[in-house]
Amino acid sequence: MNLHIKKALLAITVWVYLAVPGIAAEESLLIPEVALFPSNLAEIRISPPLDFCGEPVPLDDPDIRENLEKELLLTIWNRPQFILYVKRSARYMPYVEKMLRENGMPEDLKYVAIAESALLPHIGSSAGAVGYWQFIKWTGQKYGLRIDEDIDERRNIFTSTRAAIRYFKKLHGDFGSWTLAAASYNMGEAGLGRRIAEQNTRNYFHLYLPLETQRYIFRILAIKLVLSDLPKYGFNLSPSDLYPPVEFDRVHLNISSNVSVRTIADAAGTYFKKIKDLNPEIRGNRLVQGNHVILVPKGASKGFAQRFNTLIAQQKAARAAMKKETYVVKSGDSLTLIAERLNIPLRDLLEWNQLRYNSTIHPGQHLVILR
């Protein structure tokens, strides 16, 4: 290909990434190599049959084909993002697929999580949806997730997938169709129900819905098509390119008072970040009192309970040996300023008083100081 033509194609690609909302890669704008895109457009033509959760997609309808081809082309051109989809899928999908099978659910539902979150635990939306399956707080709590200032199980791949399975079962029962269940997952049951009644059809492909929901199934189908035949669409990744499935042990903790993540990491023989990465549902730097199931690095569960109990006993003994003082908060004080003024670590001040880095304090408030 002529060099000038290559440069022109790259320029067009840059314009598309910048001009079309939702196409830019998540971390930074990375320009795909034109040579990697399938050179023969016949390679990206969609041949029937195609289905979502066993329900046929009417590809003989020109509008349906156009909508699907549009999403497929956008998906393929957003190569950096899709490569990350592929690599992350190897990390999480074995667990999601297993849970879907165990609950008798269609395997295609796994593509919903990819479309919703790009398999990122902390990703959020302007509507307040969070996590792998993008639950809003109320819906997540309704389907069994703990969501509060200490724990947000929307960020946990296992708990959030269990909640999504329960929710999809309910939606399928309401609408009698996996396609409509997915549409209602995106826009809400009440909104979809009103449009079905108003338009007198229960066929997703015949419903006039909010634009995001009109694209929704097609986005999921585009992801399914490409992931099902990566080489056809120019994605030639070897097994070594993929992120390996997360390996871990589970440990049960029943704690009567708050425990720092640092203590859990020490008991597991690892570092703070590793525990936070394995347990993204833990908010802040402590695990609050109660019963918890925590993931630790593979092999770390052996002897964990003994090491953990020893550390807790040592911390209690150390606190008992310290002199307890009281500091009265003054006007203009902040937690950082108080820690600096008293020459104590900020994390200790927070732990002694069950506070967070962003906790608000007020004049006259009493803080515990141990020396």
The tens digit of pLDDT for each residue in 296-315 reads 999 999 999 999 999 999 98
Kindly list the domain boundaries of the chain, sorted by start residue: 1-34, 37-241, 248-320, 324-370
Are 209 and 192 contacting, i.e. CB atoms less than 8 angstroms apart?
yes
Q: 335 pLDDT exceeds 80?
A: yes
Helical packing angle, 211-228 and 178-187, nearest 10°: 120
- Please state, in angstroms and as integers, the Cα–Cα distance from residue 141 to each residue in 67, 86, 138, 165, 370, following that order: 34, 30, 5, 14, 38
Return the CATH class of domain 324-370. alpha beta
- Between CA 35 and CA 44, with CA 41 as vertex, the angle to 5 degrees is 100
Query: What was the pLDDT predicted at 46?
Result: 84
Residue-wise pLDDT for 48-89, tens only, equals: 899 999 999 999 999 999 999 999 999 988 889 899 999 999
Query: What was the pLDDT predicted at 34?
Result: 46
Query: What was the pLDDT predicted at 340?
Result: 93
From the list 122, 143, 135, the residue with the least C-alpha distance to 281 is 122
Mean pLDDT of the chain: 88
Q: 140 pLDDT exceeds 50?
A: yes
Span 263-287, mean pLDDT?
95
* Higher-scoring residue by pLDDT: 352, 18: 352
Q: Which two tokens stand for residue 329?
A: 């908060």
**Coil, helix or strand for 331?**
coil
Q: 102 pLDDT exceeds 90?
A: yes
- CA quadruple 325, 352, 342, 323: dihedral sign: positive
Q: 329 pLDDT exceeds 90?
A: yes
* Higher-scoring residue by pLDDT: 228, 6: 228
In terms of residues, how long is the chain? 371
Residue-wise pLDDT for 22-41, tens only, equals: 434 444 444 444 445 555 56
Return the beta strands (E) in the chain as ranges: 51-52, 55-56, 248-255, 259-260, 286-287, 290-297, 324-328, 366-370
Pairwise CA distance, residues 113 & 211, whole Å: 20
Query: What was the pLDDT predicted at 228?
Result: 93
Confidence of residue 8 (pLDDT cuts 50, 70, 90): very low
* Higher-scoring residue by pLDDT: 324, 134: 134
* Higher-scoring residue by pLDDT: 19, 40: 40
**CATH number, span 37-241:** 1.10.530.10
Query: What was the pLDDT predicted at 38?
Result: 58
Q: 111 pLDDT exceeds 90?
A: yes
Q: Which residue has the tokens 């006259």?
A: 364
Query: What was the pLDDT predicted at 42?
Result: 58
Query: What was the pLDDT predicted at 19?
Result: 43
pTM across the whole model: 0.81
Confidence of residue 43 (pLDDT cuts 50, 70, 90): low
* Type of residue at 144: G
Span 350-361, mean pLDDT?
86
Span 284-301, mean pLDDT?
94
Give yes or no for a cis peptide into 21 (omega within 30° of 0).
no
